[in-house]
Amino acid sequence: MRKMAVIGLGHVGATVAYTLVSQGIADELVLIDTNEKKVVAEKLDFEDAMPRLPYHVEIKTQDYAELKDVDVIITAFGDIDASVRTGNRFAEFEINTKNAVEVGKKIKESGFSGVIIDISNPCDAVTSILQETTGLPRNQVLGTGTFLDTARMQHVVGDALGQDGRNVEGFVLGEHGNSQFVAWSTVRVNNKPITEFFTEEELEELGKKPAEGGFKVANGKGYTSYAIATCGVKLAQAVLSNAHFFGPVSTYVEEVGTYVGYPAIVGAKGVEKVVSLVLTDEEKAKLEQSANYIKEHLDSLK
């Protein structure tokens, strides 16, 4: 019995929930949001869809006690308007640090012992607060982090070369935000180094696009939903199936002393292992700078 929960049913949380229901990924699904009317409506809409779906999902609402035996919680609370207006995911820092503490305490009180996957922004900081507040081991609390930004990098590089983005390997590292960077030393296309295809100047221009991509979507439709929801669900599936999945997530990296986007192996208990990369000196400096930016904001809360 696969039991999951989504906390926060805005555009992203609702898309996550729809994916879990329509693809039969969860057998039981707990939906929680501060907007009671919205939760009731989402539940009814899903139940109306059930007779036309190949799966049945038992849906429960607004009960933190139900989290005790949940396998995976996906947190998607927040105020996307703040990020869209400012072009900075840390615009949600004030509201979402409070949300993370409040939600984290309730998760802890429920007796939950599974894995939390955070989508809420600023992702790395909120993931850190959720871990501290719930008291769960660091490996059991992770965020989508640069998983989405890496997909955006694969997309733009693939487009530039007329290739499927899945043929592009490599990572965007650091904050899921403006201080992120493409670690070009890790990027390969059809197993060839990226430097065989682009000059240094061209890579510099391409490197700006992943960070810009989300705001282009948000400015066009007022929010982002499909890509980030897909990333959250993909990581949840890795946990549910103990997939030992290798990819970039927001995880605690001892080397820089904070949660940050970095590759790891994800399985039944969350992050099984952080996989060290051999980076250039410039990339190491960028990672340190990005990590410090996250830590400065977290330190301001203390």
| CA nearest neighbour of 118 among 133, 109, 66, 110 | 133
Active site residue 176: yes
* Residue 8 annotated in ligand binding: yes
Residues 6+ apart with CB under 8 A from 25: 2, 4, 19, 233, 236, 237, 240
Name the CA dihedral angle for 254, 256, 262, 265, rounded to a multiple of 10 degrees.
0
Q: How many CA atoms lie within 13 A of 242 on its CB side?
A: 2
- Confirm whether residue 20 is marked as ligand binding: no
Report whether 89 belongs to an annotated binding site.
yes
Determine whether the annotation assigns residue 270 to a binding site: no
297 is in an annotated binding site: no
96 is in an annotated binding site: yes
The verdict on whether residue 152 carries a ligand-binding annotation is: yes
Find the catalytic residue in 155, 176, 244, 297.
176
Q: Is 10 labeled as ligand-binding?
A: yes
Has 120 been labeled as part of a binding site? Answer: yes
Q: 138 among the known binding-site residues?
A: no
Tell me the residue type at 260.
Answer: V
C-beta of residue 16 within 8 angstroms of C-beta of residue 31: no
Count Cβ atoms below 10 Å from residue 162 Cβ, excluding itself.
6
Task: Find the Cα–Cα–Cα–Cα dihedral 283, 284, 287, 288, rounded to 10°.
Answer: -140
13 is in an annotated binding site: yes
Q: Is 119 annotated as a binding residue?
A: yes
Confirm whether residue 188 is marked as ligand binding. Answer: no
Q: Residues at the annotated binding site for NAD(+)?
A: 8-13, 33, 96, 119-121
Active centre residues (catalytic): 176
Q: Residues at the annotated binding site?
A: 8-13, 33, 85, 89, 96, 119-121, 152
Q: Residues at the annotated binding site for substrate?
A: 85, 89, 121, 152
